[in-house]
Structure 1
Amino acid sequence: VVNTPILNVRSDPNTSANIVREANQGDQFEVLDRSADGGWIQLGENGQALGWASADYLQVSAGDAGVSTGAPAGDQAVAEQPATVQPSGPPAGGYLPSTMLSPDYGAQAFLWWKPEVAHRDLELMKNGGFNWVKQAFAWETIEGAGKGQYDWSVADRVVRDVNASGLKLLARVSSDPEKTNFWPGPPPGNAGNFAEFVGALAARYNCTAQAVGCIQAFQIWNEPNLAREWGNNQPSPAQYADFLRQAYSAIKAVNPNAIVISAGMAPTGTNDNTAMPDDVFYEQMYQAMGSSNGYFDMLGVHGAGFAAPPELDPAEAAANKDKYGGYRFFAFRHVEDIRAIMERYGDSGKKIVLLEFGWTFDSVNASYKWHGADAGIDQFVQADYLKRAYQYAAANWPWVGLMSLLTMPNVDWLDDGNPQDEEQYWWAIMDPSPTDVRMRAAFIVLCDYFNEVQFNLYCPYDPDPSRRGQR
């Protein structure tokens, strides 16, 4: 008996063999043989061999062809995903529209490699009052084998899981700068190939009844104001603008309702061959575009708060170097500086999306603890600052859309046994765990706030049972 939602049946007992059919949870087959290593079972019907399937995802009766019992039904086993998934139509009620509240509530999540953790985290986010989840779709993971050789297996599952959860999906589409042997080469020379890839991605998940699923919004690349994110080339706003234009056209050709968001920029005061300050980059990008029409629907911005409370004027962060760092970008409200650039170039009709923002309470990593634990920020201050950031935006920023915070946890941080060495560990609103739910103060505080302002509810995860349900 198949005990996982989708099981690939292959021509031979290995993952490189051709898929000859797919089986669904509950399907029953005869057991004809087992591979020498015990990991694969040959399935049949009426004595005729059908193919081989992983024993991990089958419940085998003890009497079947002398084959020992596999994983018990109900185990949290993760099936190998099929190479392709056929459209099954939208979830009940249809796909969610590509619209945003002002502000809207979301977070970066890590849904790619561990489906059981992804399902858990999506449920937590939905119940926590989040409306959007941001997930990276790494180009080299999907098309890394060569031009047009798409492996949609994991992407299909991620998109469908998000669609089923009742959250909207923002796909960050980029490639890992450390993947130096990725076939198209680095930007900006790969702009045409990237546009064709993101067009294929948008077409597959274009939110129609014939689509495999729905991606409501796309972020085009990440932090191109850093050379290490731009193929180790000097950052070029004009080159990125052309890169963005090609991607925008490809997406809109297959899903005109999708929201296309420009990349957020890294906060930096460096202006040389290795980096460019975000405000300088945006200014030159607008000069290169002439008009943002045909380039993006919303402007992506990064808005870390560093050592400053969310309401602090950027001028004070610049004036008080010892306390706040000495640059305007060390204040959350530096986002207002970027908004001023938009308005100066006649773009006041478009929204800003905060693709990353938050506060760390890092007490370990020297590059971050100066604005974390050394600045008096612990997880409770982090929680307070995050809530106040949303409140400040609601009161003062009618031009802001999604505010996607850093971050839901990534259980892969546990792999080397020292998750605290991972910088993002300290930004997260939960502890990483593949089995237990370990909410930090920020998750509970935001869950309560999001549920209050949207539904007049308490957080369903509040430790105090009297503070659950209707207010």
Structure 2
Amino acid sequence: MYRLILLALALLALISGQFLQPRLPRPLNVPPPRAVITTNPLIGVHTRLTGIGDEAYIRQTLAQVNEMGASWIVELFPWAYIQPRSRYGFDWTGADMVIAHARAQGLQVVARLDIVPAWARPPNTTDRYLDRDHFADFARFAAVFAARYAPQGVRHLVIWNEPNLRFEWGERPPDPGAYTDLLKQTYPAVKAVAPETIVIAGALSPGPGLEGGNLRMDDLQFLASLADAGAFPFFDMWAVHAYGGLEPPETDPAPDRVNFRRIELVRELLDRLGGSDKRIIITEGGYNDHPRWSGAVRPADRVRWTIATYEWSRRYPWLEATILWQFSTPFRTRSYPDAWNFVDPDGTPRAIYLAVQEYARTGKLPEPMSRP
């Protein structure tokens, strides 16, 4: 009996030790650092890596981004992943993994911050629903994120995604006043701990209003409303989603058209509203080549027009980077979203990847394209 008691105590101590010992993160398998070799430093792609947790996949993906000749990535770092349970704890595992590997590949990371944890929103709301009661919680999260990663080279933070869309504003009508209030709380919180961080606003869904502005507020109207609400002192840079639609990138812009050069209308409006000091960064854009989607173009046009988009971007001295949607995903939807990708889920490069890689290495444009 005495031996059984001793055995039970030893087993209890062993089990307790497993629970009580510090939970240290696993060391990462980060390769030696290297630089991006490219003839166009504006080239970027939007990645989809946070939350995957597969370090080998993340490492391979970011190595391929480097080898394509892209210097920039946008990556979403969901608030709901980093503070899933309460405002008092943080889980940096996934973000640390992505940022460490991006840094090793010489990539500049633009960190998109949104997606609301369940504790910070009312029941039966979507994970895009952020009300004023929790603006301060989001601002603290953004500040802690900036303080952690600014020393690791992450200088660009995008505050929310497409707030002029009902879906992205928590299934509520877009509200420029509320988004301004979010910026007014987030900007000083970030600057207090990481003054070198560039706080980016906007990232609007491009185009005219839909359903009277209740589904989408016109992006130019939304920007003007932010100026009226006093938002301009509370961001450093403006993000644009510069999709090409069905038109080549050199097509003239117009207020009622969605094409790449709509960015010029945004620039003109920023200047008129007193934001001439605000640089612009493209955080989404590009072309889709799905064979059965009405919004897609032919694969050959996608190749030519994507490269033309990167090349045309060099005309704009006020443009920080051109970061197109999207590099790859670890899964297939078997529908048109797959046709945005540069690389298949198993890592196989698509024709668009190889063409951009050749352009980035040589600066040579595909025939019959000539420099704009």
TM-score band w.r.t. shorter chain? 0.7 to 0.9
Stretches of structure 2 lacking an aligned partner (at least 5 in a row): 1-12, 123-128, 366-372
Asked if 1:420 is matched to 2:319, the reply is: no
What does residue range 189-338 of structure 1 map to in structure 2 within 5 Å? Answer: 189=132, 190-207=134-151, 213-269=152-208, 270=210, 271-289=212-230, 292-293=232-233, 295-315=234-254, 327-328=256-257, 330-338=258-266
Partners of 2:137 and 2:23 in 1: how far apart? 32
Once the two structures are superposed, residues 338-361 of structure 1 have per-residue CA deviations (whole angstroms, 9 ceiling, x without a partner) of 111101012222211111000111
Following TM superposition, by how much is the alpha carbon of 1:410 offset from its aligned partner in structure 2, in angstroms?
Answer: 0.6
Counterpart contact for 1:262–1:296, Cα < 8 Å: yes
Greater CA drift, 166-175 or 258-267: 258-267
* C-alpha spacing 1:18/1:109, structure 2 compared with 1 (3 Å): farther
Once the two structures are superposed, residues 142-167 of structure 1 have per-residue CA deviations (whole angstroms, 9 ceiling, x without a partner) of 11201121111222222212112211
* C-alpha spacing 1:311/1:216, structure 2 compared with 1 (3 Å): same
Partners of 1:228 and 1:242 in 2: how far apart? 19
Partners of 2:197 and 2:359 in 1: how far apart? 28
Q: Of residues 333, 339, 359 in structure 2, which corresponds to 1:449?
A: 359
The structure whose residues are more often helix, as a share, is 2
Following TM superposition, by how much is the alpha carbon of 1:18 offset from its aligned partner in structure 2, in angstroms?
Answer: 4.2
Counterpart contact for 2:102–2:109, Cα < 8 Å: yes
Larger radius of gyration between Structure 1 and Structure 2? 1
Once the two structures are superposed, residues 387-421 of structure 1 have per-residue CA deviations (whole angstroms, 9 ceiling, x without a partner) of 101211213x221111110111111x23xxxx322
Q: How many residues align?
A: 337
Aligned to 2:55: 115
Counterpart contact for 2:42–2:313, Cα < 8 Å: no
Aligned to 2:303: 383
Q: Of residues 43, 47, 56 in structure 2, which corresponds to 1:105?
A: 43
SS at match of 1:111: coil
Counterpart contact for 2:281–2:321, Cα < 8 Å: yes
Asked if 1:161 is matched to 2:110, the reply is: no
Partners of 1:102 and 1:297 in 2: how far apart? 24
Amino acid corresponding to residue 441 of structure 1 in structure 2: A
Following TM superposition, by how much is the alpha carbon of 1:194 offset from its aligned partner in structure 2, in angstroms?
Answer: 0.4
Following TM superposition, by how much is the alpha carbon of 1:232 offset from its aligned partner in structure 2, in angstroms?
Answer: 2.3
Calculate the aligned-residue CA RMSD, in Å.
2.9
Partners of 2:326 and 2:15 in 1: how far apart? 41
SS at match of 1:289: coil
Counterpart contact for 1:103–1:403, Cα < 8 Å: no
Aligned to 1:371: 295
SS at match of 2:66: helix
SS at match of 1:267: coil
Partners of 1:169 and 1:103 in 2: how far apart? 14
Following TM superposition, by how much is the alpha carbon of 1:140 offset from its aligned partner in structure 2, in angstroms?
Answer: 0.6
Partners of 1:139 and 1:20 in 2: how far apart? 24
Asked if 1:429 is matched to 2:337, the reply is: no
Counterpart contact for 1:103–1:390, Cα < 8 Å: no
Once the two structures are superposed, residues 167-215 of structure 1 have per-residue CA deviations (whole angstroms, 9 ceiling, x without a partner) of 1111110006xx7x343453232211100111111111121xxxxx342
Aligned to 1:127: 67
Following TM superposition, by how much is the alpha carbon of 1:275 offset from its aligned partner in structure 2, in angstroms?
Answer: 2.3
Stretches of structure 1 lacking an aligned partner (at least 5 in a row): 1-9, 23-80, 208-212, 319-326, 459-471
Counterpart contact for 1:286–1:345, Cα < 8 Å: yes
* C-alpha spacing 1:92/1:106, structure 2 compared with 1 (3 Å): closer
Following TM superposition, by how much is the alpha carbon of 1:256 offset from its aligned partner in structure 2, in angstroms?
Answer: 1.3
* C-alpha spacing 1:354/1:102, structure 2 compared with 1 (3 Å): farther
Tell me the percent identity: 28
Amino acid corresponding to residue 357 of structure 1 in structure 2: G
* C-alpha spacing 1:216/1:452, structure 2 compared with 1 (3 Å): farther
